[in-house]
Amino acid sequence: MSVTTKTIERKGGDFLIRSTYAEDLFIPEEWNEEQRLIAQSCRDFLEKEVYPRLDRIDSMEQPELMPSLLKKCGGLGLLGTSIPEKYGGLEMDFNTNLLIAEALGSGHSFIVAFSAHTGIGTTPIVYFGTEEQKTKYLPGLASGEKLAAYCLTEPDAGSDVKAGKTKATLSTDKKNYLLNGQKMWISNGGFADILIVFARIEKDEELSAFIVEKDFEGITMNEEEKKMGIKGSSTRQIFFNDCRVPVENRLGERGKGFKMALNILNIGRIKLAAATLGGAKVGISKSIRYANERVQFGKSIGSFGIIKHKLGTMAAKLYAAESAVYRTGQRIENCFNELKEADRDAVLAKMKAVEEFAIECAILKVHSTEMADYVADEAVQIHGGMGFSADGPVERAYRDSRINRIFEGTNEINRMVCIDMLLKKGLQGQLDLMTPALQVQKELVSVPELSSNGDHGTLSCEKKIISNLKKTGLLVAGAAVQKLKAKLKEEQEILMHLADILIEVYLSESAVLRAEKSIHLNGEKESEAQVALARIYLYSALGIVTNAAREAIYAFSEGDEQRMLLLGIKRFTRVDPVNLKEARRKIADLMLKKNEYPF
pLDDT of residue 82: 95
- Does residue 473 contact residue 505 with C-beta atoms inside 8 Å? yes
Q: Is the pLDDT of residue 482 over 50?
A: yes
More confident residue, 9 or 540: 540
pLDDT of residue 271: 97
| Nearest CA-CA partner of 60 in 11, 102, 104, 112 | 112
- Residues of the domain holding 450: 419-594
Letter for the amino acid at 133?
Q
Average pLDDT of the residues in 393-398? 97
Tell which phi-psi region holds residue 243, choosing left (phi > 0), alpha (psi between -120 and 50) or beta. Answer: beta
Of the listed 356, 370, 408, 504, which one is catalytic?
Answer: 408
Average pLDDT of the residues in 387-395? 96
- Does residue 201 contact residue 79 with C-beta atoms inside 8 Å? no
pLDDT digits (tens, 9 = 90+) for 99-123: 999 999 999 999 999 999 999 999 9
- Does residue 238 contact residue 194 with C-beta atoms inside 8 Å? no
- Which residues are bridge partners to 157 per DSSP? 154
Separation CA 350–CA 359 (nearest Å): 16
pLDDT of residue 90: 96
Is 22 part of any domain? no
Is 531 part of any domain? yes
Q: Is the pLDDT of residue 183 over 50?
A: yes
pLDDT digits (tens, 9 = 90+) for 564-573: 999 999 999 9
Is 504 part of any domain? yes
CA dihedral 179, 211, 215, 235 (to 10 degrees): 90
Is 239 part of any domain? no
Confidence of residue 4 (pLDDT cuts 50, 70, 90): very low
Confidence of residue 347 (pLDDT cuts 50, 70, 90): confident
| Alpha-carbon separation of residue 202 from 163, 165, 168 (angstroms) | 14, 11, 6
Separation CA 354–CA 598 (nearest Å): 30
**Biggest CA pair distance of the chain:** 82
Q: Is the pLDDT of residue 346 over 90?
A: no
Is 539 part of any domain? yes
Confidence of residue 2 (pLDDT cuts 50, 70, 90): very low
Q: Is the pLDDT of residue 15 over 50?
A: yes
pLDDT of residue 1: 33
Is 538 part of any domain? yes
DSSP assignment string, 104-118: TTT-THHHHHHHIII
Average pLDDT of the residues in 83-91? 96
Average pLDDT of the residues in 153-173? 89
Average pLDDT of the residues in 60-88? 96
pLDDT of residue 160: 80
Q: Is the pLDDT of residue 451 over 70?
A: no
Whichever domain contains 513, its CATH number is 1.20.140.10
- Show the DSSP H helices in 409-527 as ranges: 411-427, 434-444, 460-484, 492-522
Q: Which three-class secondary structure state does DSSP give residue 230? A: coil
Average pLDDT of the residues in 259-272? 94
pLDDT digits (tens, 9 = 90+) for 495-523: 999 999 999 999 999 999 999 999 999 99
Is 369 part of any domain? no
Residues 6+ apart with CB under 8 A from 400: 108, 109, 229, 230, 279
pLDDT of residue 537: 98
pLDDT of residue 351: 87
Residues of the chain above pLDDT 70, percent: 97
Q: Is the pLDDT of residue 214 over 70?
A: yes
pLDDT of residue 213: 98
Q: Which three-class secondary structure state does DSSP give residue 561? A: helix
Average pLDDT of the residues in 478-493? 95
pLDDT digits (tens, 9 = 90+) for 554-592: 999 999 999 999 999 999 999 998 999 999 999 999 999
More confident residue, 107 or 5: 107
Separation CA 508–CA 103 (nearest Å): 24
| Nearest CA-CA partner of 321 in 146, 44, 105, 108 | 105
- Does residue 433 contact residue 475 with C-beta atoms inside 8 Å? no
pLDDT of residue 119: 94
- Does residue 572 contact residue 469 with C-beta atoms inside 8 Å? yes
- What is the phi/psi pair of residue 429, to 5°? 80, 10
Is 558 marked active-site?
Answer: no
pLDDT of residue 455: 62
Is 506 part of any domain? yes
Least confident span in 7-16, 47-56, 325-334, 555-564:
7-16
Mean pLDDT of the chain: 94
Q: Is the pLDDT of residue 9 over 80?
A: no
Q: Are strands 250-251 and 208-213 parallel, antiparallel or unpaired?
A: antiparallel
Residues of the chain above pLDDT 90, percent: 90
Q: Is the pLDDT of residue 3 over 60?
A: no
More confident residue, 280 or 339: 280
- The number of domains in the chain is 1
Task: Give, as one character, the DSSP assignment of residue 46.
Answer: I
- What is the phi/psi pair of residue 395, to 5°? -60, -40
Task: Provide the whole-model pTM.
Answer: 0.95
